[in-house]
Amino acid sequence: MAEKLLTISAFAKLFKTTQYTIRYYEDKGLLLPAKIAENGYRQYGMAEAYQLSFILFLRALDLSVAEIKLILTTDYPEQTMLLNKKQALQQEIARLQALERTVDEQLQQATHDTTYQVNQTIHLRVLKRLPFAQDFDLSVVEAIDWQPDLMVRQLYYVIGETDYAICIATPMPSDYHIAAGCYDFTTIEAASGAEFDSALSAITTHQNLPLIGIETRGTFLSPGKHLAVKILGKRQAK
């Protein structure tokens, strides 16, 4: 039985792409038709379907046409490429999860809840430890492994007896964690480090150290230069 072949229009429709895209891949030497009829019509079969599927998969991974051609025409180590792409995807997922947490924080603030809900364990990685006498300013930013998007990410503070650690959430277990649950919290709003230290001192007389502080993202998204931090208290019993 002769193999059923599709015209370029039907082939493009099947893969939810365009005839222009298929012709472009042909021009670049990535995908050739199974047959060109006497009237010049291009026709495609199962082999071309697998080829196009693979090309579209690699394009979804953001590979360039030149990189795809290298893979298709040489002994390029595909496994290494896929492992590298997997790592990049994991990093992107972590970035999006961090953005999601920031959005959740904004939504939680909008409800004016009196408790702080942690739906799943938040793992914290320390960026920098500072003595209480040192404020968190741009000199600290310059000294740590800082990425531009961290300025809009949720920052956490682990407050000890003599110092505090500036932390960000990380997908894997790291230096500290916040267990899932519902927490009481106290919000400290201060216009200076001295004012913040004074308010924090009043809290530490009633709670054991270390304390977890969560920077209120509303201070980033609204005018003003004050600092607002939620100091988590006891986790409520289920």
Query: Per the confidence metrics, is the pTM higher than 0.85?
Result: no
10-43 burial by CB neighbour count: b if 16+ within 10 A, else e? ebbeeeebeeebbeebeeeebbebbeeeeeeebb
**Pairing relation of β-strands 115-118 and 181-190?**
antiparallel
Here the tokens at position 110 are: 């909008």
**Pairing relation of β-strands 176-178 and 122-131?**
antiparallel
What is the fold, at CATH topology level, of the domain defined by 100-235? Multidrug-efflux Transporter 1 Regulator Bmrr; Chain A (3.20.80)
Here the tokens at position 172 are: 């894997």
Nearest to 136 by CA among 110, 159, 102: 159
With tokens 């995908």, the residue in question is 31
| Residue 111, pLDDT score | 58
The tens-digit pLDDT sequence of the chain (238 residues) is 778 899 999 999 999 999 999 999 999 999 999 999 888 899 999 999 999 999 999 999 888 999 899 888 888 787 888 888 899 899 889 888 877 877 776 666 655 667 888 889 999 999 989 998 888 777 777 777 666 666 666 789 999 988 999 998 888 999 999 999 999 888 888 877 778 888 888 888 878 889 999 887 554 444 455 678 888 988 877 6
Q: Domain locations in the chain?
A: 6-76, 100-235
Count CA atoms within 13 Å of residue 147 on its CB side.
7
Q: Which CATH number fits domain 6-76: 3.20.20.80, 1.10.1660.10, 2.60.40.3950, 1.10.1740.110?
A: 1.10.1660.10
Contact between 178 and 211 (Cβ < 8 Å):
no
| Residue 110, pLDDT score | 58
Type of residue found at 60: A
| Residue 219, pLDDT score | 46
